[in-house]
Chains A and B, each alone.
Chain A
Amino acid sequence: ILNVEQSPQSLHVQEGDSTNFTCSFPSSNFYALHWYRWETAKSPEALFVMTLNGDEKKKGRISATLNTKEGYSYLYIKGSQPEDSATYLCALYTSGTYKYIFGTGTRLKVLA
């Protein structure tokens, strides 16, 4: 059974702090990696789709990197704001079977 792991499970940071999370996946099954942000009572929102080793994507204060050879992706938030409080999910789109496998998410709380 394929496993996509995210760490940490949750964290609290102060407003203005920078933070990062990890998504780990089996490199042999990689086709694409998606990052989503899920705020409470809202729809999960797509942040990035990453396909190439060494990919770096940026959206405002949020950026992500991808290492397909070692099977991980990092999501960075620079200068965290209370509105960044959400669960951040990564999803592996697998080669061969072409399925989405989600991680358990990282729950971020930014304290004002």
Chain B
Amino acid sequence: EAGVAQSPRYKIIEKRQSVAFWCNPISGHATLYWYQQILGQGPKLLIQFQNNGVVDDSQLPKDRFSAERLKGVDSTLKIQPAKLEDSAVYLCASSFSGQETQYFGPGTRLLVL
């Protein structure tokens, strides 16, 4: 079965610019997660979707980050405007349900200059 797809794999932008990441989860997985992993830290959950509804976005900086999951399948994560501290790996993961094993995409490595 196809895994979780993410694009782009790498992105370099200047501060105050905007950027968007795309994720296509494993077919049939209802739960989708976006994580931010800053160098030297563990992945931090930004937002969790169940189908196209938000389950948890308590750690999403809503003044600059937004995410959507249209039709309960693909998802996009946007940062607008980006700050230097947003430099990180952004991981997308999906699971059949909230407590099942998560399957991760390869991540998008973002560098904000």
A91 smallest CB distance to B (angstroms): 8
Which range holds the interface residue count of chain B?
A: 20 to 34
Q: A43-B4, A99-B56 are in contact. Are A104 and B107 (CB under 8 A)?
A: no
Interface flags for A6-42 (1: CB within 8 Å of B; 0: not) read 1000000000000000000000000110101000011
Size of A's binding interface in residues, CB under 8 A: 23
**28 cross-chain CB contacts under 8 A:** A4-B42, A32-B99, A34-B101, A41-B106, A42-B106, A43-B103, A43-B104, A43-B105, A43-B106, A44-B91, A44-B93, A44-B104, A45-B104, A46-B101, A89-B43, A93-B99, A98-B98, A99-B45, A100-B33, A100-B45, A100-B102, A102-B35, A102-B42, A102-B43, A103-B42, A104-B41, A104-B42, A105-B42
The 5 A-B residue pairs with the shortest CB-CB distance in the complex, in nearest-first order: A102-B42, A44-B104, A43-B104, A104-B42, A102-B43
A residues whose Cβ falls under 8 Å from a Cβ of B: 4, 6, 31-32, 34, 36, 41-46, 49, 89, 93, 98-105
